[in-house]
Structure 1
């Protein structure tokens, strides 16, 4: 969708902002450009919509050399979201969002209808927010309007220049979550500029880590964190890159332990006998449809009448996640519920439990797998018990 071929931007004073840049962004891919201030990432992005003209090389958009396309026509094919947002203060939220469709010649009623759809899509009820003015919105709400406006003409490409950089960390994380939700359904081709490696890791299908005017590494977040290509990349992503990997390492079925499983209507005596045979102090409890109900402790059953059922002694289980959720979310859930393990589900089906020990192993396997270019399942870990 977007292809750079030996692109250079050199200014009249001799400053080289971008030096011999070549890379591709596939259709529907979200690529984050990350690096320190002045490294060339914003220049790279602005050359795509010809806000800055390259001094060498060529840029292609969906096969077209953008140098041969009228700049105004080109920009109509590209959504653009910036940190400052740039909403018109004298227009309502609905009219701000309808600006681009209206400029493209759509009737006002149709443009406003499209704007209302997009406001709803970004989590702003048009019946509540549509008639408000930008000054009546919070920073996070204004950013949502900026995203909605960029999507109004349904462009295949989005350019986003630190769009969430001006809001506080809590709002920023919420905006990132909402944008990922949008991207999962819209599948836009996105270039996203940020100076924050954690944001780049969380959002990007691939990350371009910039040095001075050039890309030092262009790869998946897991690979950049697990196998930095150069000392510069290793220093930039930080000594805590192992922790950052938690955000991009999913829970897999091979990471799970299989505890004893009981059902709500199992007799206490039989349940206790089964747990004793397994040497288990607790068991997962499922309902009649094999859905997760909770857990039960052997001590609690040991004090119960043997002709009773597990149902009277089972505790509800709130600490659970779907398979494929990131390890960071698993770790956070453990801390939130002060839990020594969390249940992992596939839909409603119970798959197993993830413990802190298995979480650590999953992280180690992921790092080793990326470094050796093999699957996590093929990694054999050594522990102190193997010595």
Structure 2
């Protein structure tokens, strides 16, 4: 969709902002351009809509050399979002959003209908916010209007220059989440400029790490963090890049352990006997359809008060503790697992990032969390398996081999 071929921007005073830049952006791909101030990332982006003209080289947009396209016509085909938003203070939110469709000759009715649709999409109900003016909105709300305005004419390409940089961290994270949700639906081709490596990692399908006027590394977030191509990249992404990888490494089926499983309507004494024979202190409880219900301890099923107390203290052992384990009453004879199972909130979907898994473990003080595919139980993730998943991902990217082919040696548990 976007192709740079040996593009250089050199100013009259001899300053080279961008030096011999060549890269491609695929249709529907979100590329983050990240680097320190003055490295050329904003210059790169502004050359796409010809706000800055290159000194040499060519830029193609959907196969067309942009130097042959009228700049005004080109800019109407490209959405543009900046940090300062740039809303017209004398126009309502609805009319601000409808600006580009009006310029393209849409009827007032059609333009305002499109604006209302986009405002709703970015979480600003047009019935509530449409008649307000920019100074009646919060900073985060103004940024949402800026995104809606950029999308109003349905451009195939979106340029975003530090769009969330002027809001506080909480609002910024919320805006990032909303934008990822939008992108998953709209699949725009996006160049997103930021100086924040955390933001670049979180949003980008690929990251272009800029040095002085050139790209030091252009790869997936996981690879940039796990296998920096140059010392500059390693220093820029930070010594804590292993922690940052938690955000871009998904939970996969190979990361899961398979604990004992019992059903809600299993007799309690039979379930207890199975767990005793297996030496298992707890089991996951599923309903008749295979959906997770919760967990149950062997101590409770066996009806032993001493065992129940011992099982409750197992929470200190992350290898065997159930989420929220507490001393429970002994199980009367002749009952089913249903009578003794405990509900469980410590779970997450397959494919969730390891950062979310770690956060869930801490939130629930859990030694393991269930992993689901829809409502289907797949297995559990433990701290040890989480660490192994992160190591395996790092090793795979560093060696440029598929993650599933990496085997890690483990020191046996004492």
Tell me if both proteins adopt one fold, taking TM over 0.5 as the criterion: yes
Matched, 1:203 2:230: no
Stretches (4+) displaced over 3 A: none
Give the distance between the partners of 2:60 and 2:205, measured in 1 at CA: 20
Matched, 1:157 2:157: yes
Cα deviation digits, residues 58-91 of structure 1 (max 9, x gap): 1000111111100000001100000000011111
Cα deviation digits, residues 17-72 of structure 1 (max 9, x gap): 00000000000000000000000000000000000000011100011111110000
Matched, 1:374 2:401: yes
Describe how 1:1-387 pairs up with structure 2 within 5 A: 1-302=1-302, 303-385=330-412
> What is the CA-CA distance between 1:145 and the residue it aligns to?
0.5
> What is the CA-CA distance between 1:299 and the residue it aligns to?
1.8
Give the distance between the partners of 2:403 and 2:386, measured in 1 at CA: 13
Give the distance between the partners of 2:383 and 2:203, measured in 1 at CA: 25
Per the alignment, in what secondary structure is the counterpart of residue 251 of structure 2?
coil
> What is the CA-CA distance between 1:384 and the residue it aligns to?
3.1
Give the distance between the partners of 1:374 and 1:275, measured in 2 at CA: 39
Per the alignment, in what secondary structure is the counterpart of residue 385 of structure 1?
coil
Name the stretch that deviates more: 35-44 or 311-320. Answer: 311-320
> What is the CA-CA distance between 1:373 and the residue it aligns to?
1.6
- Which residue does 2:305 correspond to in 1? none
Unaligned runs of 5+ in 2: 303-329
Cα deviation digits, residues 359-381 of structure 1 (max 9, x gap): 00000000011111222221111
CA contact 1:78–1:159 (8 Å) conserved in 2: yes
Give the distance between the partners of 1:245 and 1:178, measured in 2 at CA: 21
CA contact 1:327–1:359 (8 Å) conserved in 2: yes
Give the distance between the partners of 1:43 and 1:306, measured in 2 at CA: 75
Cα deviation digits, residues 240-290 of structure 1 (max 9, x gap): 101111111000000000011111111110110111111111111111111
Cα deviation digits, residues 320-369 of structure 1 (max 9, x gap): 11111110111111111111111101111100000111000000000011
- Normalised by the size of structure 1, how large is the TM-score? 0.98
Per the alignment, in what secondary structure is the counterpart of residue 17 of structure 2?
strand
Per the alignment, in what secondary structure is the counterpart of residue 164 of structure 2?
coil
Per the alignment, in what secondary structure is the counterpart of residue 254 of structure 2?
helix
Per the alignment, in what secondary structure is the counterpart of residue 217 of structure 2?
strand
How many aligned positions are there?
386
> What is the CA-CA distance between 1:209 and the residue it aligns to?
0.2
Give the distance between the partners of 1:333 and 1:147, measured in 2 at CA: 31
Per the alignment, in what secondary structure is the counterpart of residue 293 of structure 2?
strand
Unaligned runs of 5+ in 1: none
Per the alignment, in what secondary structure is the counterpart of residue 384 of structure 1?
coil
> What is the CA-CA distance between 1:306 and the residue it aligns to?
2.5
Give the distance between the partners of 1:222 and 1:322, measured in 2 at CA: 20
> What is the CA-CA distance between 1:383 and the residue it aligns to?
2.7
Give the distance between the partners of 1:229 and 1:165, measured in 2 at CA: 27
Per the alignment, in what secondary structure is the counterpart of residue 100 of structure 1?
helix
What is the alpha-carbon root mean square deviation over aligned residues?
Answer: 0.9
Per the alignment, in what secondary structure is the counterpart of residue 153 of structure 1?
coil
Give the distance between the partners of 1:385 and 1:274, measured in 2 at CA: 25
> What is the CA-CA distance between 1:93 and the residue it aligns to?
0.8
CA contact 1:267–1:306 (8 Å) conserved in 2: no
